[in-house]
Structure 1
Amino acid sequence: MAAPLICIDSRYVRRRPSGIGEVVRALIDHAPALAPDVRFLLLKHPDTQARLSAAPNVTERVVRAAANGPATMWWLARATDLTGVDLFHAPANIQPAGLAMPVVTTIHDVMWLTHPHWAARPGWRGRVDRAFYAHGIRRALRASPRIATVSAATRDAIATIDPRAADRMRITRSGVAPAFHPPAAGVVSPRGERRYVLTVGQAAPYKNHRAALDAFAVAFADRNDVDHVFVQRQGAGAAALLAQAAALGLTGRVQVMTAVGRDELIALYGHALALCHPSLIEGFGNPLAEAMACGCPVVTSDVSAMPEVTGGAALLAGPCDVPAIAAALRRVADEPRLAAMLRERGLRRAAELSWHAFAAANVAIYREVLGR
């Protein structure tokens, strides 16, 4: 009997960083070794020149269609030959139509169904985005024999929207890479002597960066020894944030970085006063795990997946409660014992978030669907 062939859509792994890209990268790093009796076909993005995996049970194929575009949604079987594939893993929220094999879909969050305005672009493009993602997610809820979710929060949200999907859901909690670790003794901060609050994430409404900056202003307007650094890895929101900073009297104390490599990001986490992450919703929230692994105290929201991911290692506040967020930031800055406790708890919590365990949970789903 031939070894089963599992196709993992890996096109989110590319030069442009993204949270889903990190998830897929971790999956393909670990799954082939965890399932040596399985063959894997990885669909890859054209700008990914190097091989995605050196495992002997992996083959790779470039697909030029966008990972979350019309060709993938409706005509993927025409865009690439999937003959012989026994199971397809769609890791980016939408289930492609017309596939002959069973499809496992990873749904990171259901924002496109519950609060699409938090994610959509403005204007007609936003209206297209809303219809597109809602269609693909609802197909997954209806037709995927198994639905993977990266947090219990997303699982519970899906069960509320579509109770019929409850029995088909499995949690595959995200992890954090070993590369994220505290700075070695004596390593100089990338910001020199300046203390700073760090906020990481794309420039989308649900990331709530305006509230993060408002809270920073309330906490530190009277202290010019603290700056606010934003790493907006996927957005063009710098102009809006800098205009907001000017209106708040913070000109020169707010920096927006859009092109940050992993090593620089790790250094920023490791020397930050705190990560301020007041998202309105998260499927998981990679910056939370990354910051904790780097020994960075975390101030985040008390909703969605944030309390689950931080596991008692963060200060929590309502994402729209600017005074509460500001008070938490000020406490971290002014209470060294609290900051040290948050660092210690964060490191312990991050050690529990394993990409190996994440991949193993996905492999268990594959075997369940294949009946092996």
Structure 2
Amino acid sequence: MKVAIDAQLTVGSATGIGEYVSGLIGALQARDVQVTILREPRLDPWRFDRRLLWDQVLLPLSASRSGADLLHCASGTMPVMRRLPSVITVHDVAWLRAQEHARAYARYYFGEFSAGRYERATRVIVDSSFSKEELLACTRVDPSRVDVVHPGVANDYFSIVRSRKNHAFILAVGTIERRKNLEVLIRALSGLDRQVRLVVVGPGTEYEAYCRDLASSLRVADRVDWRGYIPRATLLDLFAHAAVVAVPSLYEGFGYAAAQALCAGAPVIVSDAPSLVEVVAGRAPVLAAGDSSAWTEQLNAIVSNADAAENRARAVRDDAMMRFSWRVAAAQTCEVYQKALAA
């Protein structure tokens, strides 16, 4: 089987989707699938005009010349014109739900326009059962063409050795946007011991300015460490030392940070967003996304009783490693490819 994979979101500083694409490629190659990696390093995928040029012009040209049997659009967007059977991974439908703060052209392209591409794909992969429900609610995609495949977590999270020292910081990882609900952690921080810090990793949006102002108004600005993009080794070190990984999102298609924390053996708390509940599967505390007092209470319980929290996290680590194995995810993805080729 020869598969061409859109890997443009691995260019530059990769986010969760870039992590997904890189992990999938490596796992497919380990299964001896012939993978052609399609990317153009000279194009910044985070500039809309460059993304559009790649998606709709260069990607279909590259795919048609690749000699592949199948095109996998693993980043959630797909060209209008294509000659090969196609599989698309839809990571979430947030652009169809609520992105009122985004520019109109981005809302249209990543929302309504992309929904039309989902409906024309040979097969559609989603990251969670919740994402499948959302996709079917927001589009006219045929349910029989949709497959749920949980992404894997990179092996280097499995090999993290948790520090025995009590490092009193909360780790939040992900793009700083409204649906990530970082404000609830800042409000919770104001009720915790002043030695406890919040470390925020990920690219910012206009929402970051709001969060910074909130931190200042609550007099915790000196306890919030804004890291932006960081090298992978540094991120792994943070997972090794964080007292707890907090994922308070209002909306997620999956919840990579929660899965990574489980696999790293780090204590984790998530919101009651359905996909996060699905990811932790009863193995971590779940709190109402907007209840900052509940977050304060649970974070304080973990930070003040680190040994018990570590023991609970260690007890579910092996299970998480099996649930979020790239070996399993690649096998399931290959089954989807076979369905697409047989269609």
TM-score in same-fold range (> 0.5)? yes
Distance 1:215 1:182, change over 3 A: farther
Specify the alignment match of 1:355 in structure 2: 326
Distance 1:257 1:238, change over 3 A: farther
Is the contact made by 2:13 and 2:229 (CA closer than 8 Å) also made in structure 1? no
| Cα deviation, residue 79, structure 1 | 4.8
Pairwise mapping of residues 70-89 of structure 1 onto structure 2 (< 5 A)?
70-76=52-58, 79-80=61-62, 82-83=64-65, 84-89=67-72
Deviations 1:293-313 (A, max 9, x none): 222111111123101111212
Is the contact made by 2:266 and 2:314 (CA closer than 8 Å) also made in structure 1? no
Does 1:300 find its partner at 2:270?
yes
Alignment counterpart, residue 170 of structure 2, candidates 192, 197, 212: 197
Distance 1:137 1:338, change over 3 A: farther
| Cα deviation, residue 44, structure 1 | 1.9
Aligned-pair identity in percent equals: 24
| Cα deviation, residue 240, structure 1 | 4.0
Alignment counterpart, residue 309 of structure 1, candidates 259, 279, 287: 279
| Cα deviation, residue 199, structure 1 | 1.0
Is the contact made by 1:107 and 1:149 (CA closer than 8 Å) also made in structure 2? yes
Pairwise mapping of residues 74-113 of structure 1 onto structure 2 (< 5 A)?
74-76=56-58, 79-80=61-62, 82-83=64-65, 84-113=67-96
Deviations 1:65-102 (A, max 9, x none): 97982224433466536144432111111221011222
Is the contact made by 1:216 and 1:228 (CA closer than 8 Å) also made in structure 2? yes
Deviations 1:255-310 (A, max 9, x none): 11113212211221122121111011112111112222222111111123101111
Is the contact made by 2:80 and 2:117 (CA closer than 8 Å) also made in structure 1? no
Specify the alignment match of 1:10 in structure 2: 7
Is the contact made by 1:301 and 1:316 (CA closer than 8 Å) also made in structure 2? yes
Q: Distance in 2 between matches of 1:246 and 1:145?
A: 50
Amino acid at match of 1:26: G
Specify the alignment match of 2:116 in structure 1: 139
| Number of equivalenced pairs | 339
Alignment counterpart, residue 339 of structure 1, candidates 301, 306, 309: 309
Is the contact made by 1:183 and 1:271 (CA closer than 8 Å) also made in structure 2? no
Is the contact made by 2:167 and 2:242 (CA closer than 8 Å) also made in structure 1? no
Amino acid at match of 1:149: V
Other structure's SS at 1:252 match: helix
Where in structure 1 are there 5+ consecutive unaligned residues?
Answer: 49-62
Q: Distance in 1 between matches of 2:116 and 2:58?
A: 15
Q: Distance in 1 between matches of 2:54 and 2:113?
A: 10
Amino acid at match of 1:22: E
Where in structure 2 are there 5+ consecutive unaligned residues?
Answer: none
Is the contact made by 1:35 and 1:363 (CA closer than 8 Å) also made in structure 2? no
| Cα deviation, residue 244, structure 1 | 1.9
Does 1:328 find its partner at 2:310?
no
Is the contact made by 1:105 and 1:146 (CA closer than 8 Å) also made in structure 2? yes
Deviations 1:2-32 (A, max 9, x none): xx53211111112302111111101110213
Is the contact made by 1:298 and 1:313 (CA closer than 8 Å) also made in structure 2? no
Specify the alignment match of 1:57 in structure 2: none
Distance 1:333 1:282, change over 3 A: same
Other structure's SS at 2:220 match: coil
Other structure's SS at 1:255 match: strand
Does 1:249 find its partner at 2:222?
no
Other structure's SS at 1:275 match: strand
Is the contact made by 1:234 and 1:258 (CA closer than 8 Å) also made in structure 2? yes
Distance 1:262 1:321, change over 3 A: same
Specify the alignment match of 1:213 in structure 2: 186
Specify the alignment match of 1:364 in structure 2: 335
Q: CA RMSD in A?
A: 2.7
